[in-house]
Structure 1
Amino acid sequence: MPRYVIERNLPVGLSESDIDAAARRAVAVNSTLEGVRWIHSNLAIDRSKFFCEYDAPSAEAVREAARLAEIPCDTVTEVREVHPDAYIRRSW
């Protein structure tokens, strides 16, 4: 399944309860869509951006999930994982 990172630009003054409500809407919507799974998110300290990682069949499926959940979806980028362990020389 393809993996995507979504950048969400958030409105100024967003409260913790606003963020919680949006997350609940995302979970509810994702449960109705085939193959769309929220992996995790990182929230900027100033609450200006969310960076969310999703598994989904397509970028369009991610955009549709955001639209249905009524949350921003400014940039969707397909990504692959890269682990630092692959680049660390082990001498044991």
Structure 2
Amino acid sequence: MPKFIIERSIPGAGKLTADQLQGISQKSCGVLNQLGPKIQWVQSFVTDDKIYCVYIAPNAELVQEHARQGGFPADSVAKVLTVIDPTPAE
């Protein structure tokens, strides 16, 4: 199933407390449970003013629906075409 990278603009994201991040995670998981097993949250990366998330889903529309239902921004949703790492360089 395809992977997607979601860019979420959240001013001050890097200053969110552990409790705030837990609340966001709980909200996200609640929406995921409602949407069913076809969409999975893999992980997220928090920066100063953005959160970048990795999801597995059959299509970008389902990822966008998750954002809509959860009230999360989804500034961009990009399908991952290829994954590379240092291994091929060896």
Verify same fold: TM over 0.5: yes
In 2: Cα distance, 1:41 partner to 1:52 partner = 4
Return structure 1 stretches of 4+ with deviation > 6 angstroms: none
Q: Deviations over 1:14-40 (max 9, x none)?
A: 632333211111111112223110001
Matching residue of 1:62: 63
Q: Matches of 1:69 and 1:37 in 2, distance apart? A: 14
Cα RMSD (Å): 1.6
Match of 1:9 in 2: 9
Residue 51 (structure 1) aligned with residue 52 (structure 2)? yes
Q: Give the counterpart letter for 1:76 in structure 2.
A: V
Say which one has the larger Rg: 1
Which residue, 7, 19, 22 being the options, matches 1:20? 22
> What secondary structure is seen at the aligned counterpart in 2 of 1:73?
coil
> Which stretches in structure 1 are left out of the alignment for 5+ residues?
none
Q: Residue 40 of structure 2 corresponds to which residue in structure 1?
A: 37
User: Per-residue CA shift, 1:22-77, capped at 9, x if unaligned?
Assistant: 11111111122231100011100x2x100100000110100100111111111000
Give the letter for the 1:10 counterpart: I
The alignment-based identity, stated in percent, is: 31
TM-score, length basis structure 2: 0.84
Paired residue type of 1:11: P
